[in-house]
Amino acid sequence: MKRMMIATALATTIGTAGLAATEAQIREVQNFDQSIDTSGLTDAQYDIAYGIVTSGDSVSEKSAKLLALTTKGEVDQSMAMISEAEMDRLMRYAPEADLGTASQAQVEMALAASYSGDSFSETSLRVQSILDGNDETTRIVVGESVADLLRRYAPEADLTSLTADELAIAMSYINSDMTRTETADRIQTLLN
């Protein structure tokens, strides 16, 4: 689930690349793993890198993603690395799925769904939907306290269709050292 959140955070960050990284964010990225040269990153790439270093991944995963970003210009989300047993399980529920185009996050979420205990047909639909990138079941219900907090930054935002990933990104903006104006801009861009 964490990887799915990171993948979505990266995609969202790429989509909001018009917002420049703060000096504090740049310093945090540069100080995270000094063996990785981040000096050539653009502001948009620093945004992505900041999302990586502040994620819930392990230090080694963060370093690998940061290195991928600095050497290729983007984090490789192309092919998931899964075992043959995992592949067989997914193919049992979604025989038409193209695992070669699924991200690691999609594969992990699909595997989790395959163990849901639901009927075979329900599980098959969910797994196929996840692997196709059409899964709408990740939408969440935001509690009133969180909704109030988000509305301080984006009063007109529709919180009824908020995903867990979007919530995580918005909360990371709120808990960052960005100015209130910058935080509000980023949250409004994310939620609208």
In a domain, 77, yes or no: no
The domain boundary residue, chosen from 30, 47, 72:
72
> How far is the C-alpha of 153 from the C-alpha of 147, rounded, in Å?
10
In a domain, 137, yes or no: no
Instruction: Looking at the structure, tell me whether residues 91 and 62 fall in a common domain.
Output: no
> How far is the C-alpha of 79 from the C-alpha of 96, rounded, in Å?
17
Q: Can you give the pLDDT at residue 44?
A: 76
pLDDT digits (tens, 9 = 90+) for 58-70: 776 777 777 777 7
Scanning the structure block, which residue is given the tokens 């909001």? 16
In a domain, 182, yes or no: yes
In a domain, 98, yes or no: yes
Give the number of other Cβ atoms within 10 Å of residue 144's Cβ: 7
pLDDT digits (tens, 9 = 90+) for 108-145: 778 877 887 778 998 888 888 888 766 554 444 456 77
> What is the domain extent for residue 183?
144-191
In a domain, 138, yes or no: no
Instruction: Looking at the structure, tell me whether residues 88 and 51 fall in a common domain.
Output: no
Q: Can you give the pLDDT at residue 70?
A: 77
Least Cα distance to 188 among 149, 154, 163, 138 occurs for 154
Instruction: Looking at the structure, tell me whether residues 29 and 49 fall in a common domain.
Output: yes
Q: Can you give the pLDDT at residue 181?
A: 92
Q: Contacts by 147-154 with C-beta closer than 8 Å and gap 24+?
A: 149/174, 150/187, 150/191, 153/180, 153/183, 153/184, 153/187, 153/188, 154/184, 154/187, 154/188, 154/191, 154/192
Q: Can you give the pLDDT at residue 92?
A: 94
Q: Can you give the pLDDT at residue 59?
A: 74
Give the number of other Cβ atoms within 10 Å of residue 130's Cβ: 28
Least Cα distance to 74 among 105, 48, 43 occurs for 48
Instruction: Looking at the structure, tell me whether residues 7 and 39 fall in a common domain.
Output: yes
Query: pLDDT tens per residue, the chain (192 residues)?
Result: 445 444 454 444 444 444 567 888 888 888 888 878 888 888 878 888 888 888 877 776 777 777 777 765 444 444 567 788 888 999 999 998 887 777 776 777 788 778 877 789 988 888 888 887 665 544 444 567 777 788 888 888 877 777 767 777 888 888 788 889 998 998 888 887
In a domain, 78, yes or no: no
Phi, psi of 163, deg, nearest 5: -90, 165
Instruction: Looking at the structure, tell me whether residues 63 and 30 fall in a common domain.
Output: yes
Domain count, the chain: 3
Q: Can you give the pLDDT at residue 138?
A: 45
